[in-house]
Amino acid sequence: MGKYFLVCGKFFDGVHQELKENVNILVEDRYITAVGEDLICPDDAQVIDLSRLSATPGMIDSHVHYEFIDPRTFNNFAVTDSDEMKAINLVYNCVVALQSGYTTVRCTGMAFRGFGCFDAKRAIDRGLFPGSRLLAAPHALGIPGGHWDFSIFHTDSHPWLSELLEQEYALTSGADQFKQLVRKQIKYGADFIKIMAAGGFASPGDDPGEMQLDQDETKAIIDTAHYLNKPVAAHAYTSESIDLLIAQGIDEIEHGTLMQQHTARLMEEHDILYVPTLFSLIGDPDVDPATLPPRSPAYQRKLKKYDAQLKESREVVLQLIKDEKLTVGLGSDIVTGYLNTDGWREFKAWRDLGIPALRALVAGTSANARICGLADVGQLAPGKLADIAAWGRDLINDKYALSECSFVMKEGVVYKQYRG
């Protein structure tokens, strides 16, 4: 760490939807101390010339699953990779993400049998590896046979093995049992609690339209987490499930891409945090699906079943984003088809759907900072941590702009030098 004077070509502060020119940033140790067009470079500061680039806050991906690497392993990695290997995978992905301009990532439930994710987090925090800042819900709490029960991939071939492979700290039944799981998550360091309240698309034996946790169970989870000052994020798609969760005090909804208009208004009324993970279902219209690993038969069946409703609800979600009454974040949720560190694909998905670039960039910076509960990142302003990324492509007109990062600073340390 030291003192740096960053000369920016274009400048986005993370909050205001405008791209300024010729703004400079003064960084001292871990923090930004001054921002402005008329700043004078101190004699003892090192100049970093980003005049050909666009500077932004370090990007944040608020929905990742980083404990595996190759998307082709998704159905089996929870079993075939040890917890030690999952921790190595997690650190590796955080190293890649930082070089890609993502100074913070949030893991929303993982397939560890124990709590190895926090070993990875501590290793990064201690500076042992140059990776993205990591926030984590160590397990996604759900039911046996539900959306995040990886043992169900083995129920047909070996039921006894499937029974042994259930995640002890993730899956249970009954309000009291879920209270205990919440307390365990928080005991070992959970930044928030993630629940699989409903079914999903990628899992073989359930349906996105079904509620998997009953009302006593969800209420017990939410109340216990709130007693211990932790927020709760819920995987849910339909209005039926989201409406119930809002009534019980949920803090955040992940996905929600089968919701109806009245639910969008209800979310605004209750100031629910929201991460729609749009790319995970729409994919990339510019990529030939034949070049990708095929989605499972169950996944394809569900996409076909909900095709009309997904298209109808997508308009609800897009309007929710455009209305700007709700805190909506960029979360990539890539588990199949592409590398799960390709967080930029969520930005491109928003652009493909007609969301203005600066609106999407707010979602990936200051909005995600609020969603992650981090007050000192997501904005380029005095007093904030010096998390800064810079990009060579046109942020406004290039849908692929975030796919190539030219410069990265995290907490005042340069991790990627711009070579011009």
Q: How far is CA 51 from CA 6, 92, 96, 183, in A?
A: 9, 31, 25, 49
**pLDDT tens digits, residue range 326-357?**
999 999 999 888 999 999 999 999 999 999 99
Round to whole Å and give the CA distance between 301 and 282.
Answer: 15
* Class for the domain spanning 3-57+379-416: mainly beta
DSSP secondary structure of 61-109 = EEEE--S---GGGTTTHHHHS-HHHHHHHHHHHHHHHHHTTEEEEEEES
The pLDDT of residue 222 is above 90: yes
Whether pTM exceeds 0.85: yes
Domain 59-342 part of CATH 3.20.20.140: yes
CATH 2.30.40.10 residue ranges for the chain:
3-57+379-416
Round to whole Å and give the CA distance between 232 and 381.
Answer: 29
Q: How far is CA 388 from CA 70, 231, 326, in A?
A: 28, 27, 25
Round to whole Å and give the CA distance between 408 and 406.
Answer: 7
Round to whole Å and give the CA distance between 378 and 356.
Answer: 19
Place of tokens 């810079």: 390
The pLDDT of residue 324 is above 90: yes
> What value, to the nearest 5°, has the Cα angle with vertex 276 and ends 271 and 279?
165
Round to whole Å and give the CA distance between 371 and 369.
Answer: 5
Place of tokens 């984003």: 321
Round to whole Å and give the CA distance between 112 and 122.
Answer: 16
In this prediction, residue 226 carries a pLDDT of: 98
**How much is the average pLDDT of 210-215?**
94
| % the chain with pLDDT above 70 | 96
In this prediction, residue 345 carries a pLDDT of: 98
